[in-house]
């Protein structure tokens, strides 16, 4: 391939990656964009995935292109899928449409769907994969991490005073942080598939765990609410409202809970449980990201932000890498990841 052709491939692949940004978040499926280009260099079809159960990006582009897809080159931000789920395999659809060449960015990390590149090659189609893979992976950062981990990506969110208290000695906790910080929490909640708390938090705080705007109006799409533990949650609890679906999981095993959620298509968990549940996830190495809001206030007593981690000496402290620090109103939001782990 000469240099002008290589530059053209990169330009069109970046167009496919840009189209992928139109795909919704959150969704159990990856965000994908596709561009079909005729042999004479004319874009004949574009598409992106509109969410679980809808046609994939390649199918959208093929529908737009029609007969012009024959002999075309397909540029796709993610390796065309190779399995039948709610929709058929895109690799087969591209081959049947007569596409002559496929250029994709990120190889598919999903073992169920991977292998599309090989299927295309077996059909006699020229395939180039892995170009701009890092750029494409950034579009599906959390989805990719979840597939590689084999479980949902876990973000632990905590709001505390400067001395690490999540409530005062009398149990009052509304509100430790400012309206600005709370609005930021709702913005980030909306990007997750599920919000997880323990029965302790459910009973002590009676939270709604919904995504709401600044006026308190619930968003049209709500993450799944998940309550982990054995104590019963009363019928009048806000977690039993019709505002959002709630899943009650018995037991206290974070890994088992994540496995069940992963099987259900949950890829990003927003952990809002109290100190005990957060400590259980941290002890088991199941927290991938920490979003901590610190208020410029001191209490000196009250509930701590984290429970016993089984650490007896400073040398064994759980260290975190600081990824970002942002002022949110009067508060500070820190995003961190366990030291040495990808955020």
Predicted local confidence at residue 85, as pLDDT: 77
212 in a known ligand binding site: yes
Number of residues written out for the chain? 343
How far apart are the C-alpha atoms of 314 and 318, rounded to whole Å? Answer: 9
> Around Cβ 105, how many Cβ atoms within 10 Å?
28
- The rounded mean pLDDT for the chain is 93
168 is in an annotated binding site: no
Supply the DSSP string of 228-240, one letter for each residue: ESSSPPPTTSGGG
Assigned CATH for 3-139: 3.40.140.10
What gap in Å lies between CA 207 and CA 166, rounded to an integer?
A: 14
Split at pLDDT 50, 70, 90, the class of 27 is confident
Closest CA to 195 of 247, 148, 233, 146: 247
CB-CB contact of 126 with 100 (8 Å): yes
Res 3 pLDDT > 70: no
pLDDT at 121 over 90: yes
β-strands 33-37, 73-78: how paired? antiparallel
* Cβ–Cβ < 8 Å for 301, 168: yes
Percentage, residues of the chain above pLDDT 70: 99
What residues are paired with 37 via a beta bridge? Answer: 43, 73
* Burial degree of 171 (CB within 10 A; 0-12, 13-18, 19+): exposed
Q: Is 58:93 a contact under the CB 8 Å cutoff?
A: yes
90 marked ligand binding residue: yes
Whether residue 192 is predicted with pLDDT greater than 50 in this model: the reply is yes
Q: With cut-offs at 50, 70 and 90, classify the pLDDT of residue 5.
A: confident
Residue 1's pLDDT is what?
46
What are the residue ranges spanned by the domains of the chain?
Answer: 3-139, 146-338
Sign of CA dihedral 54, 58, 59, 61: positive
**What is the bridge-based pairing of β-strands 289-295 and 126-129?**
unpaired
* 184 neighbors 324 (Cβ within 8 angstroms): no
Strands, sheet with 246-249, edge to edge from the N-terminal-most edge strand = 246-249, 224-228, 194-198, 268-271, 153-161, 289-295, 331-338, 320-328
**Cα gap 248→257, rounded to integer Å:** 10
User: What pLDDT is recorded for position 4?
Assistant: 57
What does the alpha-carbon distance between residue 265 and residue 172 come to, in Å, rounded to a whole number? 36
Contact status, residue 230 vs residue 272, Cβ threshold 8 Å: no
Q: What is the mean pLDDT of residues 260-272?
A: 95
Q: How far is the C-alpha of 274 from the C-alpha of 160, rounded, in Å?
A: 11
341 vs 144: CA distance, rounded Å: 14
For domain 146-338, give the CATH superfamily: Dihydrofolate Reductase, subunit A (3.40.430.10)
Q: Is 280 annotated as a binding residue?
A: yes
Task: Please state, in angstroms and rounded to a whole number, the distance separating the CA atoms of residues 174 and 192.
Answer: 23
Q: Assign 65 a pLDDT band (cuts: 50, 70, 90).
A: very high
- Does 109 have pLDDT greater than 70? yes
340 is an annotated ligand-binding site residue: no
Minimum mean pLDDT range among 144-158, 165-179, 311-325: 165-179
What would the pLDDT profile of 287-300 be if each residue is shown by its tens digit? 999 999 999 999 99
- pLDDT classification of 190: cutoffs 50, 70, 90: very high
Residue 2 pLDDT greater than 90, yes or no: no
Active-site residue list = 58
pLDDT of 18 higher than 60: yes
205 is in an annotated binding site: yes
H or E segment and range at residue 60 = helix 57-65
- With a threshold of 0.85, does the pTM exceed it? yes
Residue 26 has what pLDDT?
Answer: 86
């Amino acid at each position: 391939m000469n240099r002008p052709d290589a530059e053209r491939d990169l330009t069109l692949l970046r167009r496919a990656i840009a189209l992928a940004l139109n795909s919704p978040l959150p969704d159990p499926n990856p965000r994908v964009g596709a561009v079909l280009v005729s042999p004479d260099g004319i874009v004949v079809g574009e598409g992106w995935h509109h969410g679980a159960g809808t046609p994939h990006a390649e199918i959208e582009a093929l529908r737009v292109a029609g007969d012009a897809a024959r002999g075309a080159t397909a540029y796709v931000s993610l390796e065309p899928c190779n399995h039948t789920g709610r929709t058929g395999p895109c690799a087969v659809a591209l081959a049947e449409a007569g596409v002559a060449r496929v250029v994709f960015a990120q190889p598919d990390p999903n073992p169920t769907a991977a292998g599309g590149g090989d299927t295309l090659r077996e059909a006699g189609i020229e395939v180039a994969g892995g170009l701009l893979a890092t750029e494409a992976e950034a579009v599906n950062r959390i989805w990719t991490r979840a597939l590689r981990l084999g479980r949902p990506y876990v973000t632990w969110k905590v709001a505390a005073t400067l001395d690490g208290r999540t409530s005062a000695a009398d149990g009052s906790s509304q509100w430790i942080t400012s309206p600005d910080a709370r609005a930021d929490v709702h913005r980030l909640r909306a990007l997750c598939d599920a919000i997880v708390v323990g029965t302790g938090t459910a009973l002590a705080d009676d939270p709604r765990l919904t995504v709401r705007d600044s006026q308190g109006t619930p968003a049209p799409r709500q993450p799944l609410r998940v309550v982990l533990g054995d104590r019963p949650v009363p019928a009048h609890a806000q977690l039993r409202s019709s505002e959002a679906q709630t899943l009650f999981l018995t037991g206290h095993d974070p890994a088992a809970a994540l496995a069940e959620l992963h099987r259900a298509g949950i890829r990003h968990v927003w952990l809002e449980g109290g100190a005990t549940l957060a400590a259980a996830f941290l002890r088991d190495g199941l927290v991938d990201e920490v979003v901590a809001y610190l208020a410029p206030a001191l209490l000196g007593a009250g509930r701590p932000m984290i429970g016993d981690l089984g650490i007896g000496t400073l040398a064994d402290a759980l260290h975190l890498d600081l990824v970002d620090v942002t002022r949110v109103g009067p508060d500070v939001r820190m995003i961190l990841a366990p030291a040495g782990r990808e955020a």
